Homo-oligomer: A and B are copies of this chain.
């Protein structure tokens, strides 16, 4: 037994609510008093009471979490890991099959578009990680509408334009970038890749695109900033804490570390219920947990575990304070109707993101692209279209989607999940290829639409009538009629070959 280290047996004694120790990265911590404050609920900690919690801890907590949030007196020191009993995990047939699939993965070069990464990721990611990334609110109507809404907008291209030289560089909040999209903030990057968000940082650098750093990253803020190279630009996505002092510290730190934009999330006073995520957690917990009384707590999924920091009281009256604490441009992320867009101009912020949080918050909220089509004419009518930069995110999968947003008047679009899926499947190479594919598509489609630069993009290049009718829903199927109908057949092949 190693000198001065705790033994596994010693830790294992503290395996209850009354005295709860856990091991993380070879060190023991006394979390007994912290239990009631744990944002994710105490249940999940108690599952690891007296044990090694590293594997569960890692994707959900930045490495500086324990230093930041647990008093030093509770840091019990190193554990001799050779004395910790390894729990024998029941063989998980699903996991065995997943490992098989990973071995048979398509080569990266077989991915031709952003949706391909998603289809691959669905096969090779861990269930719980997939569920967290891919889930949306309630019936996931909004989540799916986000991409579908782009299919309501069709092009009116111009021909016989000299498009030999096509330039789709642009600038966002004063930063020049190679293509009008940015990597938007998404939480818990280590669920998909052991290195987490810094993978995105590196890929963004390669392609000269801006990265927005999430409050709820798996990496610490500083790790992500440290991964920045050269004149690479990052923005900060902010969940506002009830304790404004904490928020102030975060904002000032970000500004000091060189962040060039502050995106305040305004569509998440509470983090959404995502049933696919909840069900994934629930299944993971196994079939022995069946009492009804504690079901709600147990089945919250990753989403709910990270929401306690968010202040539901955040309101318009807080905006002046934000302007007072930072020189970074301030952007409201999650505006969803024209009334709020106009108010944002009046309150003097620098931009808005029309967004529904990737369909993860309010179901049957409209798509960002639809809100954009409502907002921009109102801004132009008032001559305000230059007073703020308008961004849009949600459902962007093709360069044609980006082009539609820019034709409507967006300054740029945010892309989140697709890069997570590319990262989860193929690491940094995957993210880079995803970005390259968008650039290839962008060049081609700029040419095909008859535009040589982003200034050429305007509403007359679009047919947006499909947005005007609102949401028609799905008509009930005539099941009896459908079964009675004998569908037309194509010519029949002979059963046997001709002689």
Query: Which A residues lie at the B interface, using CB under 8 A?
Result: 100-101, 103-113, 115-116, 118-120, 122-123, 130, 134, 138-141, 144-145, 147-164, 266-270, 272-273, 275-276, 278-279, 282-283, 287, 289-292, 294-296, 298-299, 311-316, 318-319, 332, 334-337, 339-340, 361-366, 397-398, 400, 426, 429, 433, 436, 440-441, 443-445, 447-449, 460, 463-481, 483-498
Q: For the complex, what is the distance from the CA of A279 to the CA of B149, rounded to whole Å?
A: 27
A415 → chain B, closest Cβ, in Å?
15
Contact yes or no, B120 A491, CB < 8 A: yes
Q: Which of B134, B269, B436 contacts A447 (CB 8 A)?
A: B269
**How many copies of the chain does the oligomer comprise?**
4
CA distance A493 to B122 in the complex (A): 12
Q: Give bound CA distance, A478 to B114, whole Å.
A: 13
The answer to whether B463 and A295 have CB atoms under 8 Å apart is: no
Q: List the B side residues contacting A270 at CB < 8 Å.
A: 163, 443-444, 447-448
Q: Which residues of B have CB within 8 Å of A273?
A: 112, 440-441, 444
Give A106's nearest chain B residue, CB to CB. B491
Q: Which of A151, A294, A400, A465 has the most CB of B within 10 A?
A: A151
Chain B residue nearest in CB terms to A425: B491
Cβ–Cβ contact A484 & B490, under 8 A: yes
A295 touches B107 (CB 8 A): yes
Q: A400-B138, A479-B488, A483-B119 are in contact. Are A339 and B272 (CB under 8 A)?
A: no
Residue of B nearest to A418 (CB): B484
Given contacts A336-B159, A481-B397, contact A470 B476 (CB under 8 A): no
Q: Is the CB of B157 within 8 A of A337?
A: yes
Supposing A269-B447, A447-B269, A471-B466 touch, asked if A147 and B110 sit within 8 A by C-beta, the answer is: no
Counting chain B CB atoms within 10 Å of each CB, the highest count among A294, A339, A478 belongs to A478
Chain B residues whose CB sits within 8 angstroms of the CB of A101 once the complex forms: 493
Q: Are A314 and B148 in contact (CB under 8 A)?
A: no
Contacts of A366 in B (CB 8 A): 154-156, 463
Contact partner of A479 (CB less than 8 A), chosen from B294, B468, B487, is: B487
A43 → chain B closest CB, angstroms: 13
Asked whether A336 lies within 8 Å of B116 as measured between CB atoms, the reply is no
In the assembly, what is the distance between CA of A403 and CA of B418, in Å? 32
Q: Provided the pairs A109-B282, A109-B292, A484-B122 are in contact, do residues A287 and B153 lie with their beta carbons within 8 angstroms?
A: no
